[in-house]
Amino acid sequence: MKSSSPAWYRYLRFWRRDVPADIDAELRFHFDARIEELTARGLSAEAARAQATEEFGDVDTVKRGLREIDNRVARRHDRIEWLDGLRKDVVYAARSLRRTPAVSLTIIVTLALGLGVNAAMFSLLDVIFLRPPAGVAHPEQVRRMWSEQPMMDGRQFHSIYDYSSYAALVATIGTQADLAVYGYPDQRALSNDENPPMATVSGANDSFFDVLGVHPQLGRFFSREEDRIDSPKPVVVISDAFWHRHFGGDPEVIGKTLSMAGSVYGAPGLLRYTIIGVAPPRFSGVDLDAVDIWRPIASTLPTLGGVPWYRNPNINGLEILLRLRPGVRESELEQRATARLRGPDVGFRQDTLTVAAFGSIIAARGPGKLDSSVEVATRLAGVAIIVLIIACANVVNLLLARAVRRRREIAVRLALGVSRVRLVRLLVAESVLLAAIAAAAALLAAWWGGALLRTLLLPRVHWGEPAMAWRVLAFGLLAALVAGALTGLAPALQSLAPDLTDALKAGARSGGAHRSRLRSTLIVVQAALSVVLLVGAALFIESLDNVRSRDIGYAVDRLAFVQLRNESVDTVTRRVQSDRLLALEPRFASIPGVERVAYASMRPLGGISWEDYYPEARTSAGELPPGMNTAVTSDYFATSGTRILRGRGFTSNGHSDGSYEVIVNDAMARALWPGASALGKCIHFVRRDAPCAVVVGVAQTAMLEGLREDPSPHFYLPLEHMPFPNWGVGSVILRVDPARMSSVLATMHSLLRAEFPTVYSRSTTMEQSMEPLYRPWKLGATLFTLFGVLALLVAGIGVYSSVSYAVSQRTHEFGVRAALGATARDVIAHVLGSGLRTVLVGIAAGVVLALGAGRLVASLLYGVQPDDVRALLGAAGVLLAISVIAALAPAWRAARVDPVEALRTE
Amino acid sequence: MTIRELDLLQGTLDVLVLRALSMGPMHGYAVARFIRDGSDGSFKVLDGALYTSLHRMEERGWVESEWGSSDKKKRAKFYRLTAAGRRALRTEMQSWNDYVAAVARVMVAPVPEPG
């Protein structure tokens, strides 16, 4: 109905069009008019009625038809009006927001910050925990294999297997589940050039693609023949992304050759593979690292010491996947797998306590422990939510203040007859509009921030999926709508409360006591949450500091480790290479910059090796700690910086009776011989009747496997007496002048290339090895601080606006005070006092909250407890300082109020 | 052409209604009377069909309605043409004229001689 009264008509319409009544009225008019005309011509009333009815037709059918048509029309009108109303609301909201640009901008920025960090965190956690690998058919039916085994810090679940375990599992449960095995993706160079293009390569067996339900888009996947465990063919399957990136999507790519450098066989040449298939789009394996190239698994693993890789329990690093067949009971299958894995011929050594478990295809959900960076990320998600809450609280405050200032305008509207519902809709439309704008800004920030978070938290992952996904956008918009509606609701509802005449008379002055309670509560909430974040930041900063300054038993900045990549060589050749390496010591030592040279079976953080052992004269009871050991040359301790606390280093090479020397670290000494001296004690390695290894020295408990707070017991054996197996030298250890580190390493490489032309060498510095260990704390410290500063900023704005508003409401009062003789200092003190009272309450609440929530981060900290006093005081202090600064400006304004002006204004 | 009692097709009825409304806004009864009077009583239009036509054309946007009061001060629903309705009327009148002319041409065409 194109009405002649557009705008306020809508406000006044209280009823929906009554379609049946209208139709009845219209037709009644018709009948009345016709009957009147006919009776005027002389017919009787009944005759007239009969004729009119006959002229009309079937009244009921016609009425039904008319009703249908009119209902349709009414619905369409309502829809149009609703949309029109919405549009007008948005236009009105935009106009009123433009009138107060500063407040609007503040709200937008605040919300954008809160929404942005949440969207970024969500996108990260979504891809780690929620999204199953792309391209897999029915990923919820695929499982990963995990087993519980002894690790460095107790029994843990891990998903690393050797081939014999896989074969055993196939034999046991292969009729009830389809199994596949693959190697975790690895970076390989595709040429021998200076800066070769790199690709992520993974080995997979022939059933891998079948189990995942993946079909090639070009060519085919491995056949049984090609993936024979003893003689694999040099074929590869490439991913869709790699196909486009490296081959430009060439449809003739099947049959082309692909080269890969650094083959595990040690040869410096390039291995050539033939491409036989291209995986479908989006499929890039089942881990976070996106795979570019799949090779038959047998081609990735070497034969060592004459033992083929599929029978060598030392060759592990394989992951097992399985898809259950329909109707199979998962728990029963797990039990059978457990029983089989406890068998004697499985794995490196029989483990009768192992437990098998089936985990989700999403590795992060499996029973195994999370990467510590991921654990930090989950805490950060909580932090992001806290930031959003703070932001929303702040926005509500700002909107409240704004609503009170508009009391008059709102009162006028109500007087003109705007329905309350309509008014609330208008006000909520404003906050939703703000939130929508904020969301747009936030999503932009999240896109950039999400990519940043990825590189910060998990830099070694080569992501397959982009950081911004539709789910994140949807999440962001939903969060914005909810935030906008919620933040706008409270002020809107409060606006409806006032007494109209009161508002019209008093104008914008009176604040209302109950309103300020809501505002105070919001300030308290903001302050409390900010304190929690700041405490978190302080704790992580302290942890990082503790970690960095801990004496880990090495001269961190001076150590470098050089290794030959000879994993595939047979034992005899390895022995020869090892001896030659040892013989090269004088040449290594003469390289300018090298201070000392030593050798070890493996470098620190380079792996673990443990042995059975039988100590004599033990003074402690209970289980023996695992026999972790490293074999080293006598120069090792002087080179690495690990101090010998008692006794001495190695001197002799062994005695005629077969006995030899061993050094224990302090933790081992205290574990085996507490209260007594470890020196002179005898230990038998591997067998109870093995020759005696005499303890000649106790070394400092240095870090060997990772940064943990509780020290791990360890043996140092002389290189010649490595118990099992006979690996030879694993790593050359160099103590180098830090300034010449790179030149030393370059010289080492060329030296080794000359001596061992068929073998690659690899080097790392201690600092490089340590970096990933520090990362979780560095990240926690960085991001908590970042978020904490954001929260601080937002809370500061909140305090500023709140105090500012309070001051503006009480201008009159300050004028009176000034007139009565109060000095500027009095006024400032008064304003600060009343303004900061709520902040103090908030700080107290925040401290309590922080103490309670401390449990959540306790496991991530290092050397500091969640109830650390310094952190709590520091956080409280910082917040207080910011609040004082924020409140100073309005306080100053209050002090400068001219009494005359103030008394005159409303 | 002999004028007979014709059962008017719905489409033709629409045109007549539009024509009626082109004289000015009227209520449904006035439209019925216009058509009856205009054809000197030859066209017997079922009033129900007439109202269906009016409502359907309102849905199509050719007419719009408004409640008002009749000359007898009674409450009635008045209809009037929209711009779209006026355009439709013009089109239909053109078509109708073309149709009539074509039929007439056929009618007055010389009958072919047998043989």
Same domain, A593 and A675: yes
Residue of B46, B50, B55, B62 to mutate for A, most A C-beta atoms under 10 A: B55
Least confident piece of the model among A557-571, A860-874, B18-32: A557-571
Dist. CA A530–CA A518, nearest whole Å: 18
Same domain, A422 and A347: no
For residue B73, what is the nearest residue in chain A, using CA coordinates? A29
When comparing pLDDT for B25 and A704, which is higher?
B25
Nearest neighbour of A30 by CB, restricted to B29, B56, B66: B29
**Angle subtended at Cα A142 by Cα A141 and Cα A143, rounded to the nearest 5 degrees:** 120
Kindly report, residue by residue over A604-639, the tens digit of the pLDDT: 877 777 777 888 888 877 778 878 888 888 889 999
The answer to whether the CB atoms of A26 and B74 lie below 8 A apart is no
Domains in chain A: how many in total? 4
Q: Looking at the domain assignment, is residue A123 inside a domain? A: no
For residue A37, what is the nearest residue in chain B, using CA coordinates? B33
Q: What is the Cβ-side half-sphere exposure of residue A333, based on CA atoms within 13 angstroms? A: 25
Contacts of B58 in chain A (CB under 8 A): 69, 73
Q: Looking at the domain assignment, is residue A124 inside a domain? A: no
Contacts of A59 in chain B (CB under 8 A): 48
Q: Stretch A267-280: mean pLDDT, rounded?
A: 80
Supply the pLDDT for residue A306: 63
Is a pLDDT exceeding 80 seen at residue A227?
no
The answer to whether the CB atoms of A73 and B59 lie below 8 A apart is yes
Q: Stretch A832-847: mean pLDDT, rounded?
A: 87
- Token pair 């058919």: residue: A137
Q: Looking at the domain assignment, is residue B115 inside a domain? A: no
Same domain, A739 and A781: no
Q: Stretch A71-82: mean pLDDT, rounded?
A: 88
Same domain, A509 and A541: yes
Same domain, A624 and A526: no
Same domain, A161 and A303: yes
Least confident piece of the model among A96-100, A106-110, A706-710, A772-776: A706-710
Kindly report, residue by residue over A660-687, the tens digit of the pLDDT: 889 999 989 988 888 888 898 999 887 8
Q: Looking at the domain assignment, is residue B114 inside a domain? A: no
Contacts of A65 in chain B (CB under 8 A): 52, 55
Q: Looking at the domain assignment, is residue A127 inside a domain? A: no
Q: Looking at the domain assignment, is residue A396 inside a domain? A: yes
Is a pLDDT exceeding 90 seen at residue A128?
no
B35 reaches A (C-beta below 8 A): no
The residue out of A87, A121, A149 marking a domain boundary is A87
Supply the pLDDT for residue A507: 45
When comparing pLDDT for B49 and A730, which is higher?
B49
Is a pLDDT exceeding 50 seen at residue A14?
no
Q: Looking at the domain assignment, is residue A98 inside a domain? A: no
Residues 6+ apart with CB under 8 A from A797: A106, A110, A394, A886
Residues 6+ apart with CB under 8 A from A161: A145, A147, A181, A316, A318, A319, A320, A347
- Distance from the Cα of A34 to chain B's closest Cα (Å) equals 8
CATH number at residue B84: 1.10.10.10
What is the Cα B12 distance to its own chain's centre?
6
Supply the pLDDT for residue A688: 85
Residues 50-109 of B with CB under 8 A from A: 51-52, 55-56, 58-59, 64-66, 70, 74-77
When comparing pLDDT for A14 and A540, which is higher?
A540
Residues 6+ apart with CB under 8 A from A21: none
The answer to whether the CB atoms of B75 and A25 lie below 8 A apart is yes
Dist. CA A363–CA A170, nearest whole Å: 21
Residues 23-62 of A with CB under 8 A from B: 25-27, 29-30, 32-34, 55-59, 61-62
- Checking DSSP bridges between strand A682-685 and strand A613-615, what pairing results, if any? antiparallel
Determine the structural domain holding residue A675 and report its residue range. Answer: 566-759
The answer to whether the CB atoms of A26 and B76 lie below 8 A apart is yes
Same domain, A191 and A323: yes
Same domain, A629 and A714: yes
Minimal CA–CA distance to A717: which of A688, A689, A692?
Answer: A692
Same domain, A381 and A320: no
Kindly report, residue by residue over B61-87, the tens digit of the pLDDT: 999 999 988 888 888 999 999 999 999
Minimal CA–CA distance to A686: which of A349, A353, A307?
Answer: A349
Per 3-state DSSP, what percentage of chain B is helix, strand, and coil (rounded to 5)? 55, 15, 30
The answer to whether the CB atoms of B48 and A62 lie below 8 A apart is yes
Is a pLDDT exceeding 90 seen at residue A180?
yes
- Token pair 């900010």: residue: A530
Amino acid identity of A769? S
Averaged pLDDT of chain A? 81
- Token pair 């904020």: residue: A438
Domains in chain B: how many in total? 1
The answer to whether the CB atoms of A29 and B65 lie below 8 A apart is no
Supply the pLDDT for residue B82: 93
Contacts of A22 in chain B (CB under 8 A): 77
Contacts of A55 in chain B (CB under 8 A): 44, 46-47
Q: Looking at the domain assignment, is residue B1 inside a domain? A: no
8 Å CB contact between A68 and B58? no
- Token pair 């009845």: residue: A24
DSSP string, B31-77: HHHHHHHHTTT-----HHHHHHHHHHHHHHTSEEEEEEE-TTS-EEE
Q: Stretch B20-46: mean pLDDT, rounded?
A: 85
Kindly report, residue by residue over A130-166, the tens digit of the pLDDT: 888 888 999 989 999 998 877 656 678 888 888 888 9
- Distance from the Cα of B28 to chain A's closest Cα (Å) equals 7
The answer to whether the CB atoms of B51 and A73 lie below 8 A apart is no
Q: Looking at the domain assignment, is residue A110 inside a domain? A: no
Q: Stretch A714-718: mean pLDDT, rounded?
A: 89
Is a pLDDT exceeding 80 seen at residue A510?
no
Determine the structural domain holding residue B89 and report its residue range. Answer: 10-108
Question: Percent of chain B having pLDDT more than 70?
Answer: 88
Amino acid identity of B103? V
Kindly report, residue by residue over A793-808, the tens digit of the pLDDT: 888 888 888 788 777 7
Supply the pLDDT for residue A11: 43
The answer to whether the CB atoms of B48 and A26 lie below 8 A apart is no
> With bands split at pLDDT 50, 70 and 90, how would you rate the model's confidence at A127?
confident
Is a pLDDT exceeding 70 seen at residue A189?
yes
Is a pLDDT exceeding 90 seen at residue A362?
no
Supply the pLDDT for residue A238: 93
Q: Looking at the domain assignment, is residue B4 inside a domain? A: no
Supply the pLDDT for residue A664: 92
Amino acid identity of A215? H
Q: Looking at the domain assignment, is residue B25 inside a domain? A: yes
8 Å CB contact between A598 and A610? no
For residue B45, what is the nearest residue in chain A, using CA coordinates? A55
Rg of chain B in Å (alpha carbons) = 17
A505 reaches B (C-beta below 8 A): no
**Count of CB atoms within 10 A of residue A423's CB?**
16
Is a pLDDT exceeding 60 seen at residue A567?
no
- Distance from the Cα of A21 to chain B's closest Cα (Å) equals 12
Q: Looking at the domain assignment, is residue B98 inside a domain? A: yes
Kindly report, residue by residue over A450-490, the tens digit of the pLDDT: 777 777 777 767 676 666 667 777 777 787 788 778 777 77
Least confident piece of the model among A35-49, A497-511, A550-564: A497-511
Kindly report, residue by residue over A387-397, the tens digit of the pLDDT: 888 888 888 87
Question: Percent of chain A having pLDDT more than 90?
Answer: 13
Supply the pLDDT for residue A699: 92
Same domain, A395 and A325: no
The answer to whether the CB atoms of A1 and B65 lie below 8 A apart is yes
For residue A53, what is the nearest residue in chain B, using CA coordinates? B47
Q: Looking at the domain assignment, is residue B5 inside a domain? A: no
Torsion of CA A365, A367, A372, A374, to 10 degrees: 0
8 Å CB contact between A796 and A882? yes
Residue A365 is classified by DSSP as G
Q: Looking at the domain assignment, is residue A408 inside a domain? A: yes
Least confident piece of the model among A183-187, A256-260, A655-659, A876-880: A655-659
Supply the pLDDT for residue A302: 62
**pTM surpassing 0.80?**
no
Task: Kindly list the distances between the CA atom of residue A587 and the CA atoms of A357, A580, A597, in Å, as whole numbers in the listed order.
Answer: 51, 12, 10
Which tokens go with A135? 């391209």
B28 reaches A (C-beta below 8 A): yes
